[in-house]
């Protein structure tokens, strides 16, 4: 190797590293705050050729019941709320089974890839576990409690494939379109043993909210905006989800509209914290499954949908440049449910992302 070649190569390499170091320094302050809070999906795009793997676990907890926006007691439900599937004496005139609390845990595996700077494709696979405790009241009338029982369902959820398309971007502001397709890989036929008001244990198809899927193909379209300065970043996302039609059991999940806005502050290159506000509006279920007719509030398709406003606080950390950890806790500020539904207490999302 000639001396001249070594000198030239060394010079070229040192330029490369200096440029890289400068580039890193410029972006260092926004590293941790470079992504939206971990609960936001499809919030960022990637550079050409980049891959990202992510794993999130989302835990949602619900307890007690709401009618519209105020709480309703189990005794009131079983004496006053009519059972739409009443067919005495087999099926009582009022609801006799009341949900007490519910825990949903979702494990989400995500993959992102950017074939070029304007397009990022994203796929998301979900594993879901739902646990619900309920109280069964005796016979056809009154407020005598028979017993509590638990139901559970686990399995694959619906799968999402999305395309993020860059619409506008400079160093401070970026806008992209979200175009997604939700494939009904989850189940709508999960069943479990329940306790009937006649004190019988029987296996029935679980209500809609206990299923792991929605059974219909769905479209998801939206717009995402990200803005940043050296230490502060912010963004907004609007998403609309709509089923293409009724599923094989002749029901259809209601349309969902969601608007989120967030603000994050980078305390250092490796650590940021965020606040987020999310408004969600969804419609009730259309149609009904002929196998979901138990005298329980969750069997009534009218007891689905509504709107709520959630506030979220989050933290993001960057470990060794390519590894990212995020945690976000969301609680409702305001809600209005259609009919009678369980009350959302909190939603916690913990996630890990690695880009390569
Ligand atoms: Cu990504």
Give the Å distance between the CA of 50 and the centre of ligand 1. Answer: 9
DSSP 232: E
In angstroms, the CA 236 to CA 39 distance is 13
Give the Å distance between the CA of 352 and the centre of ligand 1. Answer: 11
Give the Å distance between the CA of 49 and the centre of ligand 1. Answer: 12
Give the Å distance between the CA of 31 and the centre of ligand 1. Answer: 13
Q: What stretch of H or E contains 23?
A: helix 3-28
As given in the structure block, the two tokens for residue 113 are 């890839």
Give the Å distance between the CA of 155 and the centre of ligand 1. Answer: 25
Give the DSSP per-residue string, 269-289.
TTEEEEEEEEEEEEPPPEE--
Give the Å distance between the CA of 12 and the centre of ligand 1. Answer: 31
pLDDT of residue 89: 66
Residues with pLDDT less than 70, the chain: 1-31, 88-89
> What pTM, to 2 d.p., does this model score?
0.88
Give the Å distance between the CA of 42 and the centre of ligand 1. Answer: 8
Give the Å distance between the CA of 183 and the centre of ligand 1. Answer: 21
pLDDT of residue 20: 38
Residue 204 burial (CB < 10 Å; 0-12/13-18/19+)?
A: middle
pLDDT of residue 140: 76
β-pair partners for 287: 251
Give the Å distance between the CA of 236 and the centre of ligand 1. Answer: 17
Q: Give the strand pairing for 201-205 and 232-243.
A: unpaired
Give the Å distance between the CA of 112 and the centre of ligand 1. Answer: 5
* Closest by CA position to 227, among listed 61, 26, 30: 30
pLDDT of residue 252: 98
Give the Å distance between the CA of 354 and the centre of ligand 1. Answer: 8
pLDDT of residue 161: 98
Q: Domains of the chain by range and CATH?
A: 31-355 (2.40.128.130)
Q: Which residues of 330-339 are buried (b: 16+ CB within 10 A; e: fewer)?
A: bebeebebbb
Q: Give the strand pairing for 340-355 and 218-228.
A: unpaired
Give the Å distance between the CA of 90 and the centre of ligand 1. Answer: 53
Give the Å distance between the CA of 52 and the centre of ligand 1. Answer: 5
Query: Cβ(222)–Cβ(240) under 8 Å?
Result: yes
Give the Å distance between the CA of 44 and the centre of ligand 1. Answer: 6
Task: Report the Cα 7 to chain-centroid distance in Å.
Answer: 55
Give the Å distance between the CA of 18 and the centre of ligand 1. Answer: 26
Give the Å distance between the CA of 110 and the centre of ligand 1. Answer: 9
Q: What angle do CA 31, 34, 35 make, to 5 degrees?
A: 130
Give the Å distance between the CA of 324 and the centre of ligand 1. Answer: 10
89 preceded by a cis bond (ω within 30 of 0): yes
Give the Å distance between the CA of 161 and the centre of ligand 1. Answer: 14
Give the Å distance between the CA of 75 and the centre of ligand 1. Answer: 48
Strands (E) across the chain are located at 51-67, 70-71, 97-116, 119-137, 145-156, 159-169, 173-183, 191-195, 201-205, 218-228, 232-243, 251-252, 256-268, 271-282, 286-287, 306-319, 323-337, 340-355
Give the Å distance between the CA of 210 and the centre of ligand 1. Answer: 30
Query: Cβ(119)–Cβ(163) under 8 Å?
Result: yes
The length of the chain in residues reads 356
Give the Å distance between the CA of 48 and the centre of ligand 1. Answer: 12
Give the Å distance between the CA of 192 and the centre of ligand 1. Answer: 37
In angstroms, the CA 63 to CA 61 distance is 7
pLDDT of residue 4: 52
**pLDDT 10s digits, 200-242:** 999 999 999 999 999 999 999 999 999 999 899 999 999 999 9
In angstroms, the CA 321 to CA 319 distance is 6
As given in the structure block, the two tokens for residue 291 are 């196998």
In angstroms, the CA 255 to CA 8 distance is 62
In angstroms, the CA 105 to CA 187 distance is 16
pLDDT of residue 153: 98
Give the Å distance between the CA of 231 and the centre of ligand 1. Answer: 20
Give the Å distance between the CA of 119 and the centre of ligand 1. Answer: 12
């Amino acid at each position: 190797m000639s001396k001249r070649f070594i000198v030239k190569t060394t010079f070229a390499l040192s330029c490369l590293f200096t440029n890289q170091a400068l580039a890193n320094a410029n972006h260092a302050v926004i590293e941790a705050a470079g992504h939206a809070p971990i609960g936001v999906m499809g919030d960022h795009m990637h550079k050409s050729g980049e891959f990202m793997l992510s794993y999130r676990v989302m835990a949602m907890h619900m307890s007690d019941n709401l009618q519209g926006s105020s709480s309703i007691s189990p005794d009131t439900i079983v004496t006053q709320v009519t059972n739409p599937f009443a067919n005495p004496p087999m099926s009582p005139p009022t609801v006799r089974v009341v949900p007490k609390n519910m825990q949903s845990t979702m494990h989400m595996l995500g993959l992102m890839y950017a074939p070029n700077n304007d397009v990022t494709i994203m796929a998301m696979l979900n594993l879901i576990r739902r646990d619900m405790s309920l109280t069964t009241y005796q016979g056809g009338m009154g407020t005598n409690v028979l017993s509590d029982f638990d139901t559970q369902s686990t399995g694959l959820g619906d799968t999402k494939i999305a395309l993020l398309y860059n619409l506008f971007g400079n160093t401070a502001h970026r806008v992209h379109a979200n175009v997604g397709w939700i494939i009904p890989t989850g189940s709508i036929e999960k069943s479990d043993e329940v306790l009937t008001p006649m004190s019988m244990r029987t296996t029935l198809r679980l209500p809609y909210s206990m299923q792991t899927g929605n059974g219909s193909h769905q479209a998801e379209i939206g717009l995402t905006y990200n803005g940043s300065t050296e230490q502060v970043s912010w963004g907004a996302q609007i998403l609309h989800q709509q089923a293409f039609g009724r599923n094989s059991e002749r029901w259809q999940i209601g349309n969902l509209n969601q608007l989120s806005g967030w603000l994050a502050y980078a305390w250092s290159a490796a650590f940021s914290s965020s606040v987020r506000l999310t408004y969600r509006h969804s419609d009730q279920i259309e149609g009904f499954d002929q196998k979901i007719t138990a005298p329980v509030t969750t069997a009534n398709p009218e007891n689905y949908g509504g709107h709520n406003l959630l506030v979220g606080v989050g933290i993001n950390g960057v470990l060794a440049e390519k590894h990212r950890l995020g945690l976000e806790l969301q609680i409702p500020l305001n809600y209005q449910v259609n009919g009678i539904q369980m009350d959302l207490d909190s939603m916690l999302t913990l996630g890990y992302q690695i880009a390569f």
